[in-house]
Structure 1
Amino acid sequence: MKALTLGMALATLTVAAAAQAEPGVSFTFGAGTSLAPAYFGSDDYEFGPTGTVRLHGLQIGQFSFGSPDPSVERMGWGLRGAFRYLRSREAADHPELTGLADIDAAIELGLGIGYEAERYRAFADLRYGVIGHESFVAELGADAKLRASDRLTLTAGPRLLIGSDRYAATYFGVTPVESVASGLPAFAAEGGLLTAGVQVGMAYDLGGDWGLEGTVGYAWLQGDAADSPITAMGSRTQGTASLMLTRRFTLGY
């Protein structure tokens, strides 16, 4: 009897340990549409897809991050996932770009650190173009938060975008070969602070795991991004707007 009891106890512990070791993840996924300049520096605007992926909690073996409940708003310091999609730039679609090389669409992935409080938040993200430009970009921001109701939260605050030399050269540079083909002066764009602006946002809880998020932003190109001959054909001021449907997911916990 003692041996049977001991065996059952060991089996229970083994099952519990296996369950505890099972990986789990909680995140929010969003998809929608955005209105933005046709390309960086353009004064023409186009609609396109947009999306977001926000990691709330992760459990892999003994490693644990965040919360398994994606509806929980974590206060204080914390890690965050970072994602951005950039549309392609094709000279065939924009006569003023004739002679410039096409730029493929890009997907940027990375991590950031943020601080969340009841009435404000701040963050710093570092992303890399895993598809497309294959360079680094950093984004810094802060928001004041206003809870207009139990379902509606409004935010507003500044944004800064910093790009590497390769990032700046990709979107704002003109090579000697492109200069001959386009008639634009050659321009070796260098990285640094590329945009500074402000963003206003709203998040509305639709109930259950569903939500609606929207943003309106306005930015001014800085440094070599502002001085680029590509920007000279368009505008240094860049507006954006987006609307997304979001859903929270919890898997494996």
Structure 2
Amino acid sequence: MIARLATVSSLALGLAVPAYAAGPGQTSAQTDVMAPAPVTVSPRPQLVFTLRGGVASAPEYFGSDEYAVGPDLGFRFNFLSLRNGRSFGNPDPWADSMGLTLGGTFRFIQERKTDDFSELAGLDDIDAAVELGVSMRYGTENFAAFGEVRRGFGGHEGWVGEVGADATLRPSDRLRLSVGPRLFFGDDAYSDTYFGITPAEASAALPAYDPEGGMVSAGVEFGARYQLNDVWGLEGAVTWEKFTDDAGDSPIVEQGSDEQWGVRFGVTRVFNIGG
């Protein structure tokens, strides 16, 4: 959901990728791979993808009540055709993926350095983490639902998952609005890393805490996209989430805030190679 100075992006022969550095701490990406399109005769390979660049704001770390501004970077893989005529995705970069799509998902979580936050004095630093996994999405003209599973490497070695849905509105041919719920889950390893406090780290302000895995947060996301012309566009999103269960009871969250907001805004550019 939220990506501290991070981004969530999605790539797929027919995939949408949001990326961002949500508060200097995390980046996440996602990719959805569409089922192969009917075979057609193509004189040469063609690749269509979209890049986004802008700014974003999010909490400094999971549970922080302070926010930071950082770069917003995103990538969306739209279409690929091969010399043998096989093609994937949709050559129209502004079209939504319909039906069932499968793909990959990626998220980067920035390191958490205790020296940067006086309220976390005594806690160990957490290295930056990369999460890699798979995603599944089902979309229609006005509704889409998705699920993602990722495994962490680096800062945490746990498993995380996210499910969500979006209702889509199109007030005009160029403007697309979406809104929907998000649920985020993490296993014991993930929860221990970002919400746990070992006896060796414990202090009067931050007592020892050993959280269990499960639902980490629940929230909602509102997104908007505006097509300026065939290649340029504007894209933004506002996210809100509330930590739940053991994550919400963590002393790290209680000294900060269990409600986390994120805002990103960027300019998109479509690239068509070989078309």
CA RMSD of aligned residues (A): 2.6
Distance 1:118 1:38 in 2: 36
Instruction: Give the gaps of 5 or more residues in structure 1.
Output: 1-18
Q: Are residues 1:126 and 2:149 paired? A: yes
What is the SS of the residue equivalent to 1:115?
A: strand
2:96 corresponds to which of 56, 60, 73: 73
What amino acid maps onto 2:136 in structure 1?
Answer: I
2:201 corresponds, among 178, 182, 190, to 178
Does the aligned pair in 2 maintain the 1:53–1:82 contact within 8 Å?
A: no
Contact in 2 for aligned 1:69/1:250 (Cα 8 Å): no
After superposition, the Cα gap between the structure-2 partners of 1:94 and 1:155, relative to the gap in structure 1 and judged at 3 Å, is: same
**3-state SS of the aligned residue for 1:213?**
strand
Q: In structure 2, the residue corresponding to 1:179 is in which secondary structure?
A: coil
Alignment match, 1:168: 191
Separation in 1, partners of 2:202, 2:82: 52
Among 38, 52, 56, the alignment partner of 1:34 is 56
Alpha carbons of structure 1 residues 190 and 251: separation in structure 2 relative to 1, 3 Å: farther
Structure 1 residue 41, shift from structure 2 partner: 0.8
Aligned equivalents of 1:113, 1:158: Cα separation in 2:
16
Task: Return the alpha-carbon distance in structure 2 between the equivalents of residues 218 and 34 of structure 1.
Answer: 14
* Cα displacement (A) at 1:125: 1.6
| C-alpha distance after superposition, 1:70-100 (max 9, x if no partner) | 3343311112442333333221111000111
1:191 and 1:22 mapped to 2: Cα distance? 49
Q: Matched residues in 2 for 1:60 and 1:88: separation?
A: 40
Rg (Cα) greater in structure: 1
Q: 2 CA distance for matches of 1:47 and 1:33? A: 7
Q: TM-score, normalised by structure 2?
A: 0.75
2:97 matched to 1:83?
A: no
Distance 1:51 1:83 in 2: 13
Q: Among residues 214, 221, 224, which one is paired with 2:236 in the alignment?
A: 214
TM-score, normalising length: structure 1: 0.81
Task: Give ranges in structure 2 of 5+ residues lacking alignment.
Answer: 1-40
Q: CA deviation at 1:20?
A: 6.8
**Identity score, percent:** 47
d(CA) in 1 for partners of 2:140, 2:66 = 38
Give the match for residue 112 of structure 1.
135
- Name which of structure 1's ranges 129-138 and 146-155 shifts more when overlaid on structure 2: 129-138
